[in-house]
């Protein structure tokens, strides 16, 4: 005997299992994060510190380096130039302590950082300018005259 049954598609909304799987994933994430939270906050062993995102670009007159360092004070940022290498370093300090509360998620980086960029062309070190506004540090490095492009006239003989 052959019985024909009509195939019906199950409705996703009627599957309470999907909600439970999402909860299970969240619980597993919390399980693996929590034993290491205190250890990671106390040392740089797991996090390796943090490094702000950088953009480096050049036009005909300048090299420009932009770094994202939101939430920092100007005095907590250091910029130095030595032998064609720009170094941006500093420390972002924690704003508040959460001693009497349970932290469910902590994703903002705190601690010391250092970014070093080898510059592709020589610059005028005495004319370098750094500006910090709205969490973005902009370092403008004027190119040395020998690094600027020059137009050469062609003589016809």
* Element (DSSP H or E) covering residue 18: helix 16-42
Give the pLDDT of residue 104: 79
128-131 CB contacts, 8 Å cutoff, 24+ apart = 128/79, 128/81, 130/79
Q: Name the residue among 59, 69, 72 with its Cα closest to residue 123.
A: 59
Confidence tier at 41 by pLDDT (50, 70, 90): very low
Q: What would the mean pLDDT of 78-106 be, rounded to a whole number?
A: 86
**Best-predicted range by mean pLDDT among 52-66, 91-105, 139-153?**
52-66
**Distance between CA atoms of 38 and 127, rounded to whole angstroms?**
45
* CATH fold of the domain at 54-93+109-147: Immunoglobulin-like (2.60.40)
pLDDT digits (tens, 9 = 90+) for 101-143: 887 787 778 889 999 999 999 999 999 999 999 999 999 999 9
């Amino acid at each position: 005997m052959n019985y024909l049954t009509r195939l019906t598609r199950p409705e996703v909304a009627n599957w309470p299992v999907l909600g439970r799987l999402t909860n299970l994933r969240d619980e597993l994430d919390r399980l693996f994060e929590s034993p290491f939270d205190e250890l990671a906050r106390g040392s740089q062993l797991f996090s390796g510190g943090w490094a702000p995102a950088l953009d480096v670009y050049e036009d005909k007159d300048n090299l420009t380096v932009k770094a994202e360092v939101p939430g920092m004070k100007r005095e907590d940022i250091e910029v130095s130039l030595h032998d064609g290498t720009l170094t941006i370093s500093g420390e972002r300090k924690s704003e508040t302590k959460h001693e009497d509360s349970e932290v469910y998620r902590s994703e903002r980086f705190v601690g010391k950082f250092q970014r070093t960029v080898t510059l592709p062309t020589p610059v005028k070190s005495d004319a370098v300018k750094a500006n910090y506004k709205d969490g973005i540090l902009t370092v403008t490095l004027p190119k040395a005259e020998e690094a600027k492009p020059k137009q050469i006239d062609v003589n016809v003989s």
